[in-house]
Amino acid sequence: MKAVTQLLLGLSALLGASAASAAVIAITGATVHTLDDQGTLAQGTVLVRDGVIEAVGTDLALPADATVIDGTGMVLTPGLLAPLSDVGLVEVSGVASTNDQRLKDVAVGPAFSVRHGVNRYSVLFGVARTGGVTRALAGPTPGPGVFAGFGSVLRLDGAPGVVTGPDRIMVAALGEPGADRAGGSRAQALQTLLRGFEEAARYSRSSDLARRGLASGFSLPYYDLEALKRVREDDVPLWVHVDRAADIEALLAATEDLELTLVIVGGAEAWRVAPALAERKIPVVLDPLGNLPESFDRLGARLDNATLLHEAGVTIAFNELTGHEVRELRQYAGNAVAQGVPWDVALAAITRVPAALWGEEDRLGRIARGYAADLVLWTGDPLELTSWARWTMIEGQIFEPASRQLQLRDRYVEPTTRLAPPAPKP
């Protein structure tokens, strides 16, 4: 019961690996942030069976077959979720041959889907898990066009079938990056986006026969029209990179009558448009540290953007990050708290809210009965950078801290002048 370490050592020995799973696991004694109706439990118990959370409470009877982990003095949260990232698509950012998140010059627009390029053997998965991140949406970066393509939800255990949510979002770019892709004007970027949906609507209304003879009437190829048709008809959310308030306002005005589910990504000046975003129920995936006026799209950038949006009733999530950076999610949330965002709202912005934005609100992002057993046991307040993840659980499987980085650390803990293997024993 007492023996967290013993248990884990035992399991590790049994499985010969750092990942461990048992059919029934009870975590007791920890402060449990459920992100659900139960709020925070001071000394909660979470019961996991076959990878799913079975019960959450304070006085739960533990089944006889449960493996018990004592979390006393520690903090349990849902696994952290990176709402938009390139994890699994990029191994070394500066090495183009390892980068599968963007197209350079192929004429595929919205039809581009990253889901076939995900590398579940990536060393980034172990680094992300060690930092408490259990899932990420792997999305495309805008390539040659205004539409970047579909992004997919990944489970970061590295097991077969890591793409659990294929093509969950469509990504596009407006503002300065959009202008770069639409001939040089922000105005044309928005028109290109609107024209895509106009053509997709017309395409939807066409008969099969007409679609087959698509020689004229459409500027987009059939596969891109099919993609935008899916966005419209299957209600795939359109995530738009846009920072400048004027561009957000233009987007809102132009899409008033379109049945699109919009999410703003970036939104450095979104605070200026907060009431309209709240009214239209448009969430913002923002960088709560993005206060630099780095471009003319961001002159209104400020450190309390998240606070102002939250107070206006806008749903906020943190944060677009590269795959290498996803372990920094909690730093963004912690800083948002320092700028006035309530603590539980900041934690939700890296757990419950991304799950909802992915359409997974019934399965991910909370510690509640029926939810996937994605949990992190922290040594302290998870938003404090001096805390660390004691372990990370994905669908009931426990991952001890383990990564290529930690192997490098352990190799060089003591000064090493010889890296040659030791002489064979006689």
Does 5 bind other proteins (CB under 8 A)? Our answer is no
The C-alpha atoms of residue 46 and residue 36 are separated, in whole angstroms, by 13
Helix (H, G, I), strand (E, B) or coil at 221: coil
- Tell me the window of 156-164, 218-226, 352-360, 383-391 that interacts with other proteins (CB under 8 A): 383-391
Does 184 bind other proteins (CB under 8 A)? Our answer is no
Does 40 bind other proteins (CB under 8 A)? Our answer is no
Does 328 bind other proteins (CB under 8 A)? Our answer is yes
Nearest partner of 78 among 417, 408, 365, judged by Cα = 365
Sign of CA dihedral 193, 199, 205, 207: negative
Binding test (CB under 8 A) with other proteins, winner from 72, 93, 185, 219: 93
Q: Dump the DSSP string for 280-325.
A: TT--EEE-TT-----STT-TT--TTHHHHHHHTT--EE--B--GGG
Peptide bond into 319 cis (omega under 30): yes
Residue 289 token pair: 């540290």
- Tell me the window of 4-12, 200-208, 289-297, 391-399 that interacts with other proteins (CB under 8 A): 289-297
Nearest distance in Å: CB 332, other proteins: 10
Binding test (CB under 8 A) with other proteins, winner from 186, 298, 310, 366: 298
Does 420 bind other proteins (CB under 8 A)? Our answer is no
Site mask, other proteins, residues 121-160, x = CB under 8 A?
---x--x---------------------------------
Does 293 bind other proteins (CB under 8 A)? Our answer is yes
Non-local (6+) Cβ contacts of 331 within 8 A are 289, 383, 385
Nearer to other proteins, 199 or 328 (CB): 328
Q: Are the beta carbons of 146 and 184 closer than 8 angstroms?
A: no
Return the CA Rg of the chain.
Answer: 23
Nearest distance in Å: CB 193, other proteins: 25
Nearest distance in Å: CB 378, other proteins: 11
Which burial class, exposed, middle or buried, applies to 353 when counting CB atoms under 10 A from its CB (0-12, 13-18, 19+)?
buried
Does 206 bind other proteins (CB under 8 A)? Our answer is no
The C-alpha atoms of residue 413 and residue 115 are separated, in whole angstroms, by 38
* Footprint of other proteins (CB under 8 A): 91-95, 124, 127, 289, 291-296, 298-305, 307-308, 322, 324, 327-328, 331, 334-335, 337-340, 383-388, 401, 405-406, 408-409, 412-413, 415-416
